[in-house]
Structure 1
Amino acid sequence: MSDQGSLRSTLHQRGMRMTPQRQLVLDAVRELGHATPEQVCRRVQGTASTVNITTIYRALDLLEELGLVRHTHLGHGAPTYSAEEHEHVHLACHRCGTIDEVSTDLLDDLCRDLLARFGFALDATHLALSGTCRNCRNADAAEERR
């Protein structure tokens, strides 16, 4: 079944209707990989200029509720949306803004420890870690040697 057919079927099962705007938002998120609502809006407006940011937010909320997209906070500002099959941890450098992706497997020990000690089940697929990237740390070290 096509992406459009799948979305249409999922919406129909919930008593909702398929709209071109919903499909455009889903397509934009998939095309952009990681995108803020504003970036999705710009992409959608390239095809449908009358779609406004409120419609984008509503569509993103619905698509997330349906499990078709996920949002992650990669630092300050708007959340970033990606397709649901995107499962990784984001490493966000708070100095230069670089975003790297690493496997959720790296957090397996932490997940087990949190569950055993606190009964807390971490959703590592919905996570961003803030820190300083290698390039910024190397630049700092070079500056200190001067």
Structure 2
Amino acid sequence: MRMTPQRQLVLDAVRELGHATPEQVCRKVQGTASTVNITTVYRALDLLEELGLVRHTHLGHGAPTYSVEEHEHVHLACHRCGEIDEVPTETLDELADQLRRERGFELDATHLALSGTCRSCRATEAG
């Protein structure tokens, strides 16, 4: 596959945005190339993921969020306020070891989002 200008713009947008939905990527790309539409962005993201250049994570309901392949961490998604935090993948090493030992399951923590309640929302609930 050749890297078309549109694919390069999509990849550059994902790199620049860090985490982005296809719609956010499309808006970013359209700042440079106004004729690129959302269908082109989705197709480019699918291909870039097949090539191992980007990955997607579901951070709750709605569209997936894309990041570059080397951008590895676990997402912590607050289901109350929508805040997204990040922790190193090593945070789940004990769980990964346990799953491997007990279930023979190899966890890919680089492609993972955990849902819960953030510190701020918990403090509001308690107070």
Q: TM-score range by the shorter chain?
A: over 0.9
Q: 1:70 aligns with which of 47, 50, 55?
A: 55
Larger radius of gyration: 1
Q: Number of matched residues?
A: 127
Q: Which has the higher contact order (CA 8 A, sep 6+)?
A: 2
Deviation at 1:17, TM superposition (A): 2.1
Query: Between Structure 1 and Structure 2, which shows a larger proportion of helix residues?
Result: 1
**After the TM superposition, which parts of structure 1 deviate over 4 Å for at least 4 consecutive aligned residues?**
none
Determine the structure 2 residue equivalent to 1:40.
25
Q: What residue identity is the alignment partner of 1:67? A: G
Q: 1:99 aligns with which of 84, 95, 98?
A: 84
Superimposed CA distance per residue, residues 86-113 of structure 1 (whole angstroms, 9 cap, x where no aligned partner) = 1100000000000000011110010011
**TM-score, with length taken from structure 2:** 0.98
Q: What residue identity is the alignment partner of 2:118? A: C
Q: 1:85 aligns with which of 70, 85, 100?
A: 70
**3-state DSSP of counterpart to 1:90:** strand
**TM-score, with length taken from structure 1:** 0.85
Q: 2:93 aligns with which of 100, 108, 120?
A: 108
Deviation at 1:18, TM superposition (A): 2.2
Structure 1: where are the runs of 5+ without partners? 1-15
Q: What residue identity is the alignment partner of 1:52? A: N
Q: CA RMSD in A?
A: 0.6
* Sequence identity percentage: 83
Superimposed CA distance per residue, residues 53-77 of structure 1 (whole angstroms, 9 cap, x where no aligned partner) = 1110110011111111110000000
Structure 2: where are the runs of 5+ without partners? none
Q: Does 1:57 align with 2:17?
A: no
